[in-house]
């Protein structure tokens, strides 16, 4: 073999070794980066779990249940009739306002006639529609304070009469207190609104609502059966009356 040939062979061998080294390095990097990715995702999942667990613990610890609340302390009842209507509403929800306008009087009449017991569940699912002021929770908490003061229905109606636009700041706490004064609520009410006494409880009401499989407001339930208009729309006064009559037998 000539000298030149040997040099070429040696160079080729070196190249092969380098290629093998490079391939080994790529494998190593691939393995370790993959391990890192899996670890990061696992840790992220555990963080999510941890945040969730501590949040639900804190929420549960801060709950002050209004003494007048019924249905495991998640609703306010009006009337003593044999048929139960459950109404799940968010004070920020415009369709709830429409439902109140359309069927509110009918429900009130059925309460007066002792045909129904109506239970109002003040859920908060539209907290992100008030520029971060959480109007749904604040208004529902204020309604709970009003219920403690014996003026739930009056305050409930006042909130709908003064319903803010979706995606506005909502009513201020001062305005919520002013509306309370307008229906005859006093300092205890104002203190509960300012101190957000029942805001954590609203979370529990919303949780109960979801746990029952409901996802939208208003949800209207007569004797345990959800009532809707055609195509899952909100029931009219007529539809509701028929459902109550059917439930009364």
Partner 1 sequence: METRQLSARMTAAWPWISTVARLGLAAVFLTAGLLKVGDLAASGRAVNAYRLFSYDTAKVIGAVQPFLEIALGLLLLIGLAVRLSAAIAALLLVIFIAGIVSAWARGLQIDCGCFSKGGDLAAGRTAQYGLEILRDVGFLILAGILLAKPRTRFSLDGLLMGER
Binding site for partner 1 (CB under 8 A): 25-26, 29-30, 33-34, 36-38, 40-41, 43-45, 47-49, 51-52, 55-56, 93-95, 125, 127-128, 203, 206-207, 210-211, 213, 215-216, 232-234
CB of 37: closest distance to partner 1 in angstroms?
4
Task: Give the C-alpha separation, 112 to 107, whole Å.
Answer: 9
Under 8 Å CB-to-CB from 226, ≥6 apart: which residues? 214, 219, 220
Provide the pairing of β-strand 219-222 with 116-122: unpaired
Task: Supply the angle between the helices 135-148 and 199-211 in degrees, to the nearest 10.
Answer: 100
Under 8 Å CB-to-CB from 152, ≥6 apart: which residues? 68, 76, 78, 120, 143, 146
CB of 184: closest distance to partner 1 in angstroms?
33
CB of 150: closest distance to partner 1 in angstroms?
30
Q: Of 95 and 248, which CB lies nearer to partner 1 in the complex structure?
A: 95
CB of 40: closest distance to partner 1 in angstroms?
5
Q: Of 16 and 47, which CB lies nearer to partner 1 in the complex structure?
A: 47
User: Between the CA of residue 139 and those of 34, 156, 159, 205, what are the distances in Å?
Assistant: 49, 9, 8, 13
CB of 178: closest distance to partner 1 in angstroms?
28
Q: Of 128 and 245, which CB lies nearer to partner 1 in the complex structure?
A: 128
User: Between the CA of residue 204 and those of 60, 88, 210, what are the distances in Å?
Assistant: 8, 13, 10
Q: Of 14 and 52, which CB lies nearer to partner 1 in the complex structure?
A: 52
Q: Of 116 and 200, which CB lies nearer to partner 1 in the complex structure?
A: 200
Q: Which residues pair with 118 in a beta bridge?
A: 78, 85
């Amino acid at each position: 073999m000539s000298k030149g040939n040997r040099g070429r062979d040696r160079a080729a061998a070196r190249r092969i070794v380098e290629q093998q080294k490079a391939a080994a390095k790529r494998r190593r990097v691939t393995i370790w980066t993959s391990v890192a990715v899996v670890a990061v995702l696992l840790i992220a999942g555990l963080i999510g779990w941890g945040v969730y667990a501590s949040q639900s613990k804190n929420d549960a610890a801060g709950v002050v249940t209004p003494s007048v609340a019924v249905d495991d302390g998640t609703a306010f009842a009006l009337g003593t009739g044999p048929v139960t209507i459950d109404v799940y509403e968010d004070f920020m929800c415009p369709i709830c306002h429409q439902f109140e306008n359309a069927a509110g009087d009918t429900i009130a009449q059925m309460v007066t006639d002792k045909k129904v017991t109506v239970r109002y569940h003040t859920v908060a699912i539209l907290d992100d529609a008030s520029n971060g002021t959480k109007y749904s929770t604040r208004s529902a908490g204020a309604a709970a304070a009003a219920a403690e003061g014996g003026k739930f229905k009056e305050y409930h109606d006042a909130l709908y009469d003064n319903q803010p636009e979706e995606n506005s700041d909502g009513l201020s706490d001062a305005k919520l207190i002013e509306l309370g004064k307008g229906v005859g609520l006093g300092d205890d009410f104002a203190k509960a609104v300012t101190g957000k006494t029942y805001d954590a409880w609203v979370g529990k009401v919303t949780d109960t609502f979801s746990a029952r499989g409901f996802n939208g407001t208003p949800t209207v339930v007569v004797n345990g059966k959800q009532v809707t208009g055609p195509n899952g729309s909100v029931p009219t006064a007529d539809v509701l009356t028929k459902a109550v009559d059917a439930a009364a037998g």
